[in-house]
């Protein structure tokens, strides 16, 4: 059995590629492996054309050795991207529960702070809670990456950002609810005052 030195170099390169792409997402792994496979095939064809198999074997082996630092740094860059994608996934998973939590907090808060009668309470809750929660949710869902001046969310801990948005929404909702409830109270007291004045003989 004849083992060509070229094939040994190719085998080594393939093993190395398998090793440093291990644990990466399937697509990244396949892309890298296919690209190197294609390169190796082209180089073998090129060497076959020139008839210098041994030279090609050393060349392939040299390319493997000299490329190791870059292979490792490519792997590290890719790992960072994977972590970033995972953090965006986490953010997407957190949006729904944080919105519900937000809603519950506002309902409980308003229930404690504004015991003003069922109808007014419901109107105030709907007016104060629905628009900001809806807008906030649509805003985050719509954009994959959101830029706030120099801060892009994909470079920012996404989960922290979602919590921050939740907090801002709660503050906005409480403020709006306060305004609405004060307006309702004023309106109701004016009506009651008018009724009293009307009843006075």
Partner 1 sequence: MGIDLKARGAPVFHGFMIAKEIKDRAGARMLTAHGTLYKALARMEKTGLLESTWEDPVAAANDGRPRRRSYNVTPAGELALAKVHDEAKESSGAAAGLAAA
- Chain contacts with partner 1 (rule: CB under 8 A): 13, 31-32, 34-39, 41-43, 45-46, 59, 62-74
H helices of the chain, where? 5-20, 26-50, 53-113, 118-142, 158-199
C-beta of 35 vs 187, nearer to partner 1? 35
C-beta of 53 vs 67, nearer to partner 1? 67
Tell me the closest approach of the beta carbon of residue 137 to partner 1, in angstroms: 31
CA nearest neighbour of 140 among 164, 124, 115, 170: 164
102: exposed, middle or buried (Cβ count in 10 Å: 0-12, 13-18, 19+): buried
Tell me the closest approach of the beta carbon of residue 150 to partner 1, in angstroms: 19
Tell me the closest approach of the beta carbon of residue 162 to partner 1, in angstroms: 27
Tell me the closest approach of the beta carbon of residue 142 to partner 1, in angstroms: 24
Tell me the closest approach of the beta carbon of residue 111 to partner 1, in angstroms: 51
Q: Which two tokens stand for residue 158?
A: 């996404």
C-beta of 43 vs 99, nearer to partner 1? 43
Per-residue b or e along 129-160, where b marks 16 or more CB atoms closer than 10 Å to that residue's CB:
beebbeebbeebeeeeebeeeeeebbeeebee
C-beta of 88 vs 105, nearer to partner 1? 88
Tell me the closest approach of the beta carbon of residue 5 to partner 1, in angstroms: 16
* Alpha-carbon torsion angle 156, 159, 164, 167, nearest 10: 170
Signed CA dihedral, 22, 23, 25, 26: sign only? positive
CA nearest neighbour of 132 among 95, 88, 166: 166
C-beta of 62 vs 97, nearer to partner 1? 62
C-beta of 30 vs 93, nearer to partner 1? 30
């Amino acid at each position: 059995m004849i083992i060509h030195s070229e094939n040994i170099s190719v085998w080594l390169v393939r093993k190395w590629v398998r090793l440093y792409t291990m644990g990466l997402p399937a697509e990244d792994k396949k892309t890298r492996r296919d690209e190197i496979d294609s390169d190796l095939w082209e180089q073998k064809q090129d060497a076959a054309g020139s008839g210098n198999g041994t030279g090609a074997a050393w060349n392939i082996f040299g390319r493997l050795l000299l490329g190791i630092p870059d292979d490792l740094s490519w792997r590290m860059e890719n790992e960072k991207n994977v972590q970033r994608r995972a953090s965006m996934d986490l953010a997407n998973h957190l949006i729904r529960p944080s919105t519900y939590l937000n809603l519950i907090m506002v309902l409980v808060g308003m229930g404690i702070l504004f015991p003003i009668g069922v109808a007014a309470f419901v109107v105030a809750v709907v007016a104060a809670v629905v628009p900001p929660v809806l807008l906030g949710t649509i805003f985050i869902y719509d954009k994959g990456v959101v830029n706030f001046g120099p801060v892009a969310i994909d470079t920012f801990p996404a989960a922290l950002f979602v919590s921050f948005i939740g907090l801002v929404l709660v503050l906005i909702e409480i403020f709006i609810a306060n305004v609405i409830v004060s307006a309702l109270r004023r309106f109701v007291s004016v009506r009651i005052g008018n009724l009293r004045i009307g009843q006075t003989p």
